[in-house]
Amino acid sequence: MKKIIDEFTDLRISRQYKYQLRRRKEGECILCGKKAVNRGWFCMAHYLKTSVANHKKYARLKGRRIKPSAGKWLRLARKKNLV
Ligand SMILES: [Zn+2]
Ligand 1 center to 79 CA (angstroms): 19
CA dist., res. 17 & res. 77, Å (int) = 26
pLDDT of 70? 59
Residues 6+ apart with CB under 8 A from 34: 28, 43, 45
- Residues listed for the chain: 83
- What's the pLDDT band for 17 if we cut at 50, 70, 90? very high
How is the chain split into domains, by residue range?
A: 15-79
CA dist., res. 20 & res. 13, Å (int) = 11
Ligand 1 center to 37 CA (angstroms): 10
Ligand 1 center to 27 CA (angstroms): 11
Ligand 1 center to 82 CA (angstroms): 15
Ligand 1 center to 47 CA (angstroms): 7
pLDDT digits (tens, 9 = 90+) for 29-75: 999 999 998 778 899 999 888 888 888 888 788 776 666 555 766 77
Q: Say whether pTM exceeds 0.85.
A: no
pLDDT of 82? 63
- What's the pLDDT band for 83 if we cut at 50, 70, 90? low
DSSP 10-68: TSSS-HHHHHHHHHHHTTB-TTT-SBPSTTSSS-HHHHHHHHHHHHHHHHHHHTS---T
